Amino acid sequence: MFKSPYPDVEIPNKSIYDYLFTGLTDSELDGIAFIDGMSGAETSYRSLIAQINGVAGALASRGVGLDSIVALLCPNVPAFGSVFHGILRAGATITTVNSLYTAEEIEKQLRDSRASWFFTISPLLAGVKAACQAVGIPDDHLIVMDGAEGHPSLKDLLSEGATPPEVSFDPATHLAVLPYSSGTTGIPKGVMLSHRNLVANVEQSRQMLSLKPSDRVLAFLPFFHIYGLTVLLNLAIKERAALVTMPKFDFVEFLRIMQDHKCTFVFIAPPVAVGLAKHPLVEQYDLSTVRMVFSGAAPLDGSLASAVAARIGCQVKQGYGMTELSPVSQVIPEDRDDIDLSSVGFTIPNMECKILDPATGEEIPVPASGVSEPGELVCKGPNVMLGYLGNEKATKEMIDEDGFLHTGDIATVNHEGVISIVDRLKELIKYKGYQIAPAELEALLLTNPAIADAAVIGVPDEEGGEIPKAFVVLQAGKELTEDEVMGFVSEHVAPFKKVRRVAFVEAIPKSSSGKILRKDLRAAEKV
C-alpha cells in the first residue's frame, strides 16, 4: 500500500455551497466568475451567488428540498453554475444528464434516479419533454431555463426574489449529485456522491492543480460529466478563477475563444491534444496566454503531450480518475517537470492505493527502484463514492470490505509513487497468452504524421485467440495502405503486439468526455 507524497489536508465538514461561496471578500465578490465564450458576457461572483440564492429560494417555495431529486440537462453556459448550485443550495440532489442522450436514455435515467423535477434549455426540450411525460413529470416541474411556452423559466424563478431556505444535513451522507457511470462494466448506474465527496476532491485536487484567481479557464469539457463538474466548475470557483464557457465543441471556436479571451488554463481530453499537436489551423491563432494544458478522461501519450507543449509553448500535464472517485485520484503536479508525461503522476492527498495482481488478487509491492509489475489500481479515500444507487451487488463488486475501490484499470507504480495507467482490465487484448494494451498501440499510431486519429480493439482469431485491429483516420490529403500501417507498427513493437488488421474510417467513436467507445467498434465488428 502507498499514499501520496503530499501531506494530508483537512476536509471541511461543510456543504458544497458553504465550502465554495461563504466568506468571500469584496474583492473576490467583484471578480469574474463566468465569461460566456460565445458572447463575451461576464458574471461576477456577487451576481452568481445572488442567482444561486434566487434559484434556491424559488425551488424551496415549490417544495423542493432534502428529499428531492432534480435532473439537469444543460450545455456549458454560465447559467449552469447558477442552477446547479441553486439546486444544491436548496438541499436537493442533482442527477446530471448527458447532452447527447436520446429521449429513451433520458427516460431510463429519470426512472432509475426517481427525479421529479427537470431543468433544461429550449433546443433540448423535445427529447426532455417526451421523457418527462413518460415518467409523469408535469410541465410546471420542467423548467426551461431560456424560456418556453407552458413552462417556468430561469427568469421567472429569479424574478420572485425568494429567500433561500435554511437547510441542515450531514455532508458525509447527504447526496449532492447522481451522475451515471458504467464503472468497470455493464449498464450506467447512479453514482452516489455526497457533499463531502465533492468538497474533499476539490480540496485534495487544489494542492496539486495550481489554479489562481488570475486564471481564465476554458470550459468546454461538459459540466454534466464529473471531470467538468469537479475539476473545472467547482475547483475554478474555489480558486476564484474565471470560467470561459463553450457550449459545444468546435475546433475553430476552441482556438478562437482561447485567443480572444486570453485563456491561461485549458482542460482537455486526449483527442483535443491530437488537434493541438497536428492541426494546421493552430498556427493561425495567438495562444501565447496559455500556461497549462491539462488532460484527463483517457490516457495521454507522453510524446503527444510533448508535441503540444512545444507547439504552444506551455506546460502539459495529465491526471487520472473516474466518476466513482469524484473523480480525481492522481495528478502530475505543475512543479514536477521531471515526471514522465505518459504517467498520471502522484496520488492526491488523503488517499491510499494498492496495485493488485489481476489473476491472484495479491498485492504487488512498490519497488525499491524502477517500476512495479502491472496490476489493477485500487484506491481508498474521502472522495470514494457512497455506492451505486439501488445496486448493492454492483457496489460490493466495486468497493471491497476494506473500502478500496477497484478501478478496473491496469497500472504500474515506480519507487517514487508515480503511477502509469497501462490500460483497462477488460480491454486488454490476449494474443497467444500475451497481453496487449490497445492504448499503447493507439499512442504509437498517432506518432505517424499521416494519421489523424486511431483506435485499437481485439477481434477474434482462430489461431491467436484475439488479434489487434486498428481503426485509422487519415490526415486530410494523406494516403496509407493497410500494409503500410501494419508495417509502421511492426517496426516499433514486439512481434506479438503487431496490428494484424486495419480499417480506415472517417471518425473514431468517442464519449462526450473523450473516451474511445471501443464497445461501439466491437459491436460494429459483429454485424
Would the CATH topology of 41-168 be identical to that of 428-526? no
Helix ranges, 91-216 (H): 103-113, 125-135, 154-159, 195-205
- CA–CA distances in Å: residue 523 to residues 109, 187, 458, 469, 526: 23, 15, 12, 14, 5
Which CATH code for domain 428-526?
Answer: 3.30.300.30
Q: What torsion do the CA atoms of 77, 249, 258, 236 make, to the nearest 10 degrees?
A: 50
pLDDT digits 0-9 by tens, 34-54: 999 999 999 999 999 999 999
Pick from 230, 240, 302, 304: which is nearest to 267 by CA?
Answer: 230
Rounded Cα distance, 281 and 274, in Å: 12
Rounded Cα distance, 226 and 229, in Å: 5
Which CATH code for domain 41-168?
Answer: 3.40.50.980
Helix axes 270-278, 302-312, angle to 10 degrees: 50
Q: Is the previous residue joined to 327 through a cis bond, with omega within 30 degrees of 0?
A: yes
- Amino acid at the residue 467: I
pLDDT digits 0-9 by tens, 157-190: 999 999 999 999 999 999 999 999 866 665 789 9
- Amino acid at the residue 154: L
Which grid cell sits at 167?
437547510
- Under DSSP, the state recorded for 148 is B
pTM, two decimals, is 0.86
Q: What is the pLDDT along the chain (527 residues), one digit of tens a residue?
A: 999 999 999 999 999 999 999 999 999 999 999 999 999 999 999 999 999 999 999 999 999 999 999 999 999 999 999 999 999 999 999 999 988 888 988 999 999 999 999 999 999 999 999 999 999 999 999 999 999 999 999 999 999 999 999 999 999 999 999 999 866 665 789 999 999 999 999 999 998 998 999 999 999 999 999 999 999 999 999 999 999 999 998 999 999 999 999 999 999 988 789 899 999 999 999 999 999 999 987 778 899 999 999 999 999 999 999 999 999 999 999 999 999 999 999 999 999 999 999 889 999 999 999 999 999 999 999 999 999 999 999 999 999 999 999 999 999 999 999 999 987 776 778 787 676 878 889 999 999 999 999 999 999 887 767 899 999 999 999 999 999 999 999 998 878 889 999 999 999 999 887 888 988 998 888 76
| Cβ atoms of residues 296 and 320 within 8 Å | yes
* Residues 6 or more apart in contact with residue 390 via CB below 8 angstroms: 112, 190
Which grid cell sits at 85?
448550485
Strand runs labelled E in 383-450 = 387-388, 405-413, 419-424, 429-431, 434-436
- CA–CA distances in Å: residue 75 to residues 45, 62, 508, 516: 20, 25, 23, 21
Rounded Cα distance, 329 and 322, in Å: 8
**Domain limits of the chain?**
41-168, 428-526
